[in-house]
């Protein structure tokens, strides 16, 4: 979470808020819409997070990495699985198990790019609506003349 700028800045004041924002960002991601996503958090659940089709796992008293390792080791078809982490031990295990590995930094950049692209798309859509409105106004004006 600390690799994603928006969640990292929130982390200092509200770990729960940072978790909620991470889940919201992932739910908006087109590349994850059809994926089965499991998110592992350190600590205990501190309030319900609406996660859609994603499953959220809390580590309780153990580090989340413990459960992530167990999950990687139990994947039935690892060639179809992707693991996102910045932890070198997790990355090495995922590679050894033939999972696709994406570093947290790479994933953060792709989320930021998606966000920029969707922002540009929203601007284009807004301009298109404005153009349509102007065209309609000009069409009405010509009809009344």
Q: What was the pLDDT predicted at 120?
A: 45
Q: DSSP alpha helices (H): ranges in the chain?
A: 5-11, 15-28, 64-74, 88-96, 104-144
Question: Which residue, 9, 82, 68, is CA-closest to 39?
Answer: 68
Whether residue 138 is predicted with pLDDT greater than 70 in this model: the reply is: no
The pLDDT assigned to 81 comes to 93
Distance CA 145, CA 131 (A): 21
**pLDDT tens digits, one per residue of 28-54:** 887 777 788 898 988 888 777 767 778
Model pTM?
0.68
Q: Which residue has the higher pLDDT, 26 or 87?
A: 87
What is the SS3 assignment for 70? helix
pLDDT recorded at residue 47: 75
Residue 121 binned pLDDT confidence (cut-offs 50, 70, 90): very low
**Backbone phi and psi for residue 55, each to the nearest 5 degrees, phi listed first:** -105, 135
Range of the domain at 78: 5-144
Count the domains in the chain: 1
DSSP 42: S
Structure tokens at 81: 């699985």
Q: Is it the case that residue 118 has pLDDT exceeding 60?
A: no
**Taking 60 as the threshold, does the pLDDT of residue 127 lie above it?**
no
Residue pLDDT, tens place only, 48-104: 776 777 888 989 989 999 999 999 999 999 999 999 999 999 999 999 999 999 998
| Cβ partners under 8 Å of residue 101, min gap 6 | 82, 83, 85, 91, 94, 95
């Amino acid at each position: 979470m600390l690799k994603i700028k928006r969640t990292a800045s929130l982390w200092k004041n509200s770990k729960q808020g940072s978790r909620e924002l991470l889940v919201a960002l992932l739910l908006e991601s087109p590349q994850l819409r059809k994926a089965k996503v499991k998110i592992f958090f350190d600590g205990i659940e501190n309030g319900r997070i609406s996660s859609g089709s994603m499953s959220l796992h809390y580590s309780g008293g153990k580090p989340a990495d413990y459960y992530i390792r167990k999950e990687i080791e139990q994947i039935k078809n690892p060639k179809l699985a992707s693991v996102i982490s910045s932890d070198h031990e997790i990355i090495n295990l995922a590679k050894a198990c033939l999972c696709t590995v994406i570093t947290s930094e790479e994933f953060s950049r792709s989320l930021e790019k998606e966000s920029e692209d969707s922002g540009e798309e929203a601007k284009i859509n807004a301009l298109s609506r404005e153009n349509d409105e102007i065209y309609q106004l000009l069409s009405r004006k010509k009809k009344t003349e």
